[in-house]
Copies of this chain bind each other. A is one copy, B any other.
Amino acid sequence: MRDFDEHNITDAVVASLGEAKDARLKTVMTSLIRHLHDFVRDVDLSFDEWNSAIDFLTRTGQMCSDKRQEFILLSDTLGVSMLVDAINHRMPKGATETTVLGPFYVASAPDEPPGADISRGLKGEPLLVQGTVSSSDGTPLAGATIDVWQADADGYYDVQRPEPQSSLLRARFRTDAGGRFSFKSIMPAFYPIPDDGPVGEMLGALGRHPNRPAHIHFMIAADGYETLITHIFNAESPYLDSDAVFGVKSSLAATFVEVTGHGSGRLLNHHFGLKPLSRTAL
Contacts and interface: CB of A to CB of B under 8 A. Distances in A.
Interface of A: 1-6, 9-10, 12-13, 16-22, 25-29, 31-33, 35-47, 49-50, 54, 57-62, 64, 69, 71-72, 75, 78-84, 86-88, 205-208, 240-243, 246, 248-250, 253
Contact of A84 (B18, B45, B83, B250): B45
A210 to B, nearest CB: 12
A5 B22 CA distance: 30
B18 A87 contact: no
Q: Tell me the interface secondary structure of chain A in the complex.
A: helix
Ranked nearest first, the 3 interchain pairs of A and B with the lowest CB-CB distance are A61-B61, A19-B207, A13-B79
Given A4-B86, A17-B207, A38 B35 contact: yes
A79 B205 CA distance: 28
B27 A43 contact: yes
B86 A5 contact: yes
B79 A9 contact: yes
Nearest to A198: B61
Given A39-B35, A206-B17, A207-B21, A50 B75 contact: yes
Given A9-B82, A64-B61, A246 B4 contact: yes
A239 to B, nearest CB: 10
- Most chain-B CB neighbours within 10 Å: which of A40, A58, A83? A83
28 contacts: A1-B241, A1-B242, A1-B246, A1-B248, A2-B250, A4-B246, A6-B87, A9-B79, A12-B79, A20-B207, A20-B208, A22-B205, A25-B206, A28-B45, A28-B49, A32-B39, A32-B78, A33-B78, A35-B36, A35-B38, A35-B42, A36-B39, A41-B83, A47-B88, A50-B81, A50-B84, A57-B60, A62-B64
A240 B39 CA distance: 28
Contact of A16 (B4, B57, B205, B242): B242
Contacts of A46: 84, 88
B61 A58 contact: yes
A69 B88 CA distance: 34
Contacts of A208: 16-17, 19-20
A45 B31 CA distance: 11
A78 B16 CA distance: 10
A70 to B, nearest CB: 8
Contact of A206 (B3, B29, B78, B86): B29
B40 A83 contact: yes
A9 B40 contact: no
A101 to B, nearest CB: 9
